[in-house]
Amino acid sequence: MTTDKEALFAKFLDYLRSEQSEQAPQPYLGEEPNTNFFDTYQMVAEWTALRHEVKQQSKLLLKSQDTLQQALEVNVKDKEQLQIRLEESQKQALSQFEQQQEKLLKDLLGILDALDRACAYWKGELETLSVTLAPKDAPQKSLWEKFGAWFFGSERQSEVSKETPTSESLSEIITSNQEGVELIRRSLLEILRQRRVIPITCIGKAFDSQKMYAIGSEQRADVADNTVIQEVVRGYLWGDIVLREAQVIVATQETR
Per residue in 198-214, pLDDT (tens digit) is: 999 999 999 999 999 99
Q: 237: Cβ–Cβ under 8 A, 6 or more apart, which residues?
A: 197, 198, 199, 200, 211, 243
Output the CA angle 36-39-45, nearest 5 degrees. Answer: 155
Average pLDDT over residues 185-198: 93
Q: Is the pLDDT of residue 145 over 80?
A: no
What mean pLDDT is reported for the chain?
Answer: 80
**pLDDT for 143:** 47
Q: Would you say residue 38 has pLDDT above 80?
A: no
- Is 110's pLDDT higher than 50? yes
User: What is the C-alpha to C-alpha distance for residues 114 and 183, in angstroms, rounded to an integer?
Assistant: 14
Which architecture does CATH list for 197-256? Roll (2.30)
Listed range (126-135, 187-196, 220-229) with the worst mean pLDDT = 126-135
Using the CB atoms, write b or e for 40-77: b if 16+ within 10 Å: eeeeeeeeeeeeeeeeeeeeeeeeeeeeeeeeeeeeee
User: Sign of the CA dihedral 208, 209, 213, 218?
Assistant: positive
For the chain, give the percent of residues with pLDDT over 70.
72
For residue 190, pLDDT beyond 80: yes
pLDDT at residue 166, as a whole number? 60
Q: What is the pLDDT of residue 26?
A: 56
**pTM of the predicted structure, to 2 decimals:** 0.56
Lowest-pLDDT choice from 24-38, 63-77, 174-188: 24-38
Closest CA to 246 of 80, 237, 238, 187: 237
Q: What is the pLDDT of residues 59-93, one digit of tens each?
A: 999 999 999 999 999 999 999 999 999 999 999 99
- Percent of the chain with pLDDT strictly greater than 90: 41
* Band of residue 36 on the pLDDT scale cut at 50, 70, 90: low
Model pLDDT for residues 2-19, shown as the tens digit of each residue: 667 677 777 777 766 775
